[in-house]
Amino acid sequence: MRLNAEIKKVLKDFTLDIRIDTSASRIGILGPSGSGKSMTLRCIAGIETPDCGRISLDEKVLYDSGSRVFLKPQQRNVGYMFQNYALFPTMTVLQNLECGARGSRTEKRERALEMLSRMKLDGLEKRFPSELSGGQQQRTALGRILAGKPELILLDEPYSALDPNLVDRLQREMEEILKDYHGQVIMVSHNRDDLYRFSEEIFIVREGSVLCHDRTKNLFDDPRSLEAAKITGCKNFSRIRRIDAHRLEASDWGIKLEVDRPVPESVRFVGYRAHYLKPVWGGRKRNCMKFCCAFVDDMLFEKKYYCIPETGCTDQDKLVSWFVQAVTQEMLEKRGMPDYLEFEQERILLLE
Amino acid sequence: MREFLSGLDWSPLYISLKTGLAATVISFFLGIIAARKVMNCSGRVKAVLDGILTLPMVLPPTVSGFILLLIFSKRRTVGIFLKEQFGIVAVQTWLGCVIAAGVIAFPLMYRSARAAFEQIDPNLVFAGRTLGMPEREIFRRVVLPAAAPGLASGTVLTFARAMGEYGATSMLAGNIPGKTGTVSQRIAMVIQNGDYVTAGFWTAVVLVIAFLIVVLINLIAGKNTRQTRRW
């Protein structure tokens, strides 16, 4: 399967200009709220019409402004899971499932009954959506989509409206159900964790355009641009001055850094994830920064230290975030605050 | 009392009920169609169309009645055309009652239907489309049931308004006993003749019907919101 989408659409705050060309089977679109992710899905499903562009699935053209092709959503065979599931409130679970199936009345009934047991909804066929738990609603919505054997499934922020206690379980259920589905699935989310575990390939979207895309692992290891690094959750950034191929000066942190890779001329910033900072006691080592803690956020299983860097600059947005989890926290309690924080060279992000 | 009832002309009640029913049936379908059309219009067109369709509700009924009279007058183009081509005469006929009541009550149906449609989660319709359901089936199985409470209360309200219509009806259809004489016209007439007993009787009838209608609306509306918020 290969999805190829080129979508242009003028929106109120920005112009959507998205290019997606991928044959990955689990695709993530990551971006802040209001960046045009959902609109992209809606255009692919045919709920919204782009101003121009072209959308195709393998050989099948869904939309092409050039040759004036616009398939109705009914003709696209693209499943769309809405954030609120959009189950039909006046129909029972079985009737909802039937709505997704195609064919004659008996074929629909058969397919719906098949989905009912595959989604582990047995015994709930006469319930209305309002009488279901969150997990049952999600399974009904997925079952209703899968009943029509779609070629592509679109998941629009599937977990963001859920009770945090439910999310883990529903994620596992969703993965379990989609394991047998061999078409492409696109998940849109502003939550990097959701997409990290779900997607093979991620597109980062910001203000209506694709900032970058890559295999998930590569993208998180090397986001390449400052904006993309921010969206992947990197907290610490510094402007740099390049000294030579392996050394640079991080001016916002007031230290010199050595990097294991050659530093390209185009690099303007370095980034460093807050969880990766390493406490160092005693003598100064390579890539160490002297710091002074400005304030601490005490979370349940984590402490967030906000540190004044070696420049001594106390600006709020120049503070270095250092997130410490339980094991390291115990060490801190035993040995006291470290003298330095180390930036491990292989974890330094080189950004343009 | 028995003497009064046996001597009473019941025709106003039948005429009112019949008029109300006919006007409601017509308004029901036209109101739903108009609501759908206006919803799909954008910006200025919507505002203007909505204004025109709502006008009969805000105009004094006599003004609407006079305009209708001008349109359907047997001496004017439209009236002549309708009479010669289709044999339709609205002035001084029961049809006039229905037209007058329909025009006045229509905005209530139209506005209720629009409100009911607009509060439907559009994702339900989109979901239907992506699932491959034909538009007609989506409307019949998803939209109508979801809008049912609003449509039902709109229908009852329309019926109530149509049944009690006075101003426009008296101008277009006149007050011909047994033909176009509705309850509200009968009340006006007997009061002019000083017959307060008959006026009181019909007033009581109207009061009872109106009250039942309002209670009915509340019951319909209450069915969907089991827990009403209080403050």
| CATH number of the domain that residue B134 is part of | 1.10.3720.10
Binned at pLDDT 50, 70 and 90, residue A317 comes out as confident
Bridge-based pairing of strands A52-57 and A26-30 is unpaired
Is B222 part of any domain? no
CA distance A322 to A236: 9
User: How many C-alpha atoms does A41 have within 13 Å on its Cβ side?
Assistant: 29
CA distance A249 to A319: 17
The domain total for chain B is: 1
Is B109 part of any domain? yes
Is B223 part of any domain? no
Q: Is ipTM beyond 0.95? A: no
In chain A, residues with a C-beta closer than 8 Å to the C-beta of B148 are 90
pLDDT averaged over every residue in chain A: 92
Is B27 part of any domain? yes
CA distance B165 to A261: 87
Bridge-based pairing of strands A152-156 and A78-81 is parallel
CB neighbour list of residue B120: distance below 8 Å, 6 or more residues apart: B143, B146, B147
Amino acid at A15: T
How far apart, in Å, are the Cα atoms of A329 and each of A303, A304, A338, A343, B82? 8, 10, 11, 18, 90
B224/A contact by beta carbon, under 8 A: no
CA distance B89 to B161: 23
**For the whole model, what pTM was predicted?**
0.84
In chain A, % of residues over pLDDT 70: 100
CB contact under 8 A, B131 and A144: yes
Is B200 part of any domain? no
A interface toward B at CB cutoff 8 Å?
42, 45-47, 72-74, 76-80, 82, 84, 86-91, 99-100, 102, 144-145, 148
Backbone φ and ψ for A29, nearest 5 degrees, come out as -120, 115
CB neighbour list of residue A57: distance below 8 Å, 6 or more residues apart: A1, A2, A3, A4, A78, A151, A152, A184
Is B2 part of any domain? no
User: How many C-alpha atoms does B176 have within 13 Å on its Cβ side?
Assistant: 12
Q: List the domain range (segments joined by +) for residue B155.
A: 11-183
SS3 A228: helix
Q: What angle do CA A88, B114, B153 make, to 5 degrees?
A: 80
Is B194 part of any domain? no
Is B225 part of any domain? no
B146/A contact by beta carbon, under 8 A: yes
Full pLDDT tens readout for chain B, 231 residues: 778 888 788 899 999 999 999 999 999 999 999 999 999 888 899 999 999 999 999 999 999 999 999 999 888 888 888 888 888 888 899 999 999 999 999 999 999 999 999 999 999 999 999 999 999 999 999 999 999 989 998 999 999 999 989 999 999 998 888 889 999 999 999 999 999 999 999 999 999 998 998 898 888 777 655 555 666
CB contact under 8 A, B128 and A100: no
Alpha helices in chain A (DSSP H): 37-45, 73-76, 93-100, 105-118, 134-146, 164-178, 192-198, 216-221, 226-231, 326-335
In chain A, residues with a C-beta closer than 8 Å to the C-beta of B134 are 74
Q: For chain A, what's the residue count?
A: 352
CB contact under 8 A, A99 and B145: no
Q: Which residue of A has its CA nearest to B142?
A: A88
Backbone φ and ψ for A185, nearest 5 degrees, come out as -130, 130
Token pair for B177: 């006993």
pLDDT at residue B231, as a whole number:
67
CA distance B86 to A351: 80
B30/A contact by beta carbon, under 8 A: no
